[in-house]
């Protein structure tokens, strides 16, 4: 029997909350009433990083140095250690994690830290066909000062699979959410797009969703077989700045992107 998919929500001073996938999508009214917006103005800063389960030194100093003033932090391979939870709840209003698989002590998976409470949260999991380990994704939505809803997709794509059937299958439910959403979208994470087939499938998906790719002029993204693994895609926003931070605090380099949420 497949394990149930859920997200764990961490908020300072509140008990940890388990959140199951909503009964319907955001556009069908499955959202909470909007609270304070994600950002007070049109400026929006995000950090995207596969944090390698916090196995290397200095991961905290990178988060403290570059994550604190970000409105969104999208982590992959985030282990819910006390140190990470403390950072998340001290600096953000909400942190949502989808446990992909449970390690001896702390679950690991994608985690989205946000400066506003999400009005929508849809956790997703897909099993690696060869290793039988799961990879996770998380779709959340946040109010913007423009009155629009920003849809945020944090993804860690399946890695070990023959062909692209499972890879495309993981993107399917995400595509359904993006297609029906009227408003800005950010989709980012570790896409494991290390083969020609995978990168073609990813770019085809982005075209179908009307998503643009963030370009990095000084591109130090982690690569496999000559292809970058981490991407940021967006819709209905403008990119002000984009950079890649070179660090040894993980086996991936963090991506920093500043958007203007006003079209």
* Cα separation, 27 vs 10, whole angstroms: 25
Looking at the whole model, is its pTM more than 0.85? Answer: yes
Strands, DSSP E only, in 191-244? 212-213, 223-224, 227-228, 230-235, 238-244
Q: Is the pLDDT of residue 1 over 50?
A: no
Residue 1 located in a structural domain: no
Residue 18 located in a structural domain: no
Cα end-to-end span (Å), the chain: 46
Strands, DSSP E only, in 20-132? 43-50, 72-79, 94-102, 107-114, 120-127
Q: Residue 219 is part of which domain span?
A: 38-261
Rg (CA), the chain: 17
Residue 12 located in a structural domain: no
The H or E element that residue 205 is part of is: helix 196-208
**62-73 pLDDT tens trace:** 999 988 889 999
What is the dihedral sign for C-alpha 244, 140, 186, 191? positive
CA-nearest of 111, 121, 113, 110 to 19 is: 121
Residue 29 located in a structural domain: no
Residue 16 located in a structural domain: no
Residue 118 located in a structural domain: yes
Residue 124 located in a structural domain: yes
Residue 9 located in a structural domain: no
Total number of domains constituting the chain: 1
Instruction: State residue 129 phi and psi, 5-degree precision.
Output: -70, -30
**89-109 pLDDT tens trace:** 999 999 999 987 666 678 889
Q: Is the pLDDT of residue 161 over 80?
A: no
* Cα separation, 62 vs 50, whole angstroms: 12
Per-residue pLDDT at 107? 86
Q: What's the CATH number where 218 sits?
A: 3.60.10.10
């Amino acid at each position: 029997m497949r394990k149930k998919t859920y997200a764990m929500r961490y908020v300072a001073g509140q008990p940890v909350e388990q959140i199951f996938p909503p009964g319907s999508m955001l556009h069908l009214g499955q959202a909470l009433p909007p609270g304070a917006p994600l950002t007070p103005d049109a400026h929006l800063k995000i950090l995207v990083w596969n944090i390698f389960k916090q196995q290397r030194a200095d991961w905290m100093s990178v988060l403290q140095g570059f994550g604190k003033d970000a409105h969104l932090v999208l982590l992959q391979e985030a282990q819910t250690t006390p140190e990470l939870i403390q950072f998340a709840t001290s600096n953000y209003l909400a942190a949502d994690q989808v446990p992909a698989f449970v390690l001896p002590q702390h679950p690991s998976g994608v985690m989205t830290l946000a400066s506003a409470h999400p009005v929508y949260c849809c956790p997703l999991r897909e099993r690696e066909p060869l290793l039988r380990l799961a990879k996770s994704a998380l779709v959340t939505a946040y109010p913007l000062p423009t009155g629009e809803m920003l849809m945020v997709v944090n993804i860690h794509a399946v890695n070990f699979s023959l062909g692209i059937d499972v890879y495309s299958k993981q993107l399917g439910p995400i595509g359904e959410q993006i297609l029906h959403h009227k408003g800005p979208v950010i989709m980012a994470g570790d896409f494991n797009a290390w083969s020609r087939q995978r990168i073609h499938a990813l770019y085809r998906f982005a075209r179908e969703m009307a998503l643009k790719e963030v370009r990095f002029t000084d591109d130090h993204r982690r690569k496999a077989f000559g292809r970058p693994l981490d991407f940021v895609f967006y819709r209905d926003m403008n990119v002000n700045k984009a950079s890649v931070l070179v660090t040894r605090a993980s086996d991936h380099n963090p991506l920093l992107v500043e958007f203007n949420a006003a079209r």
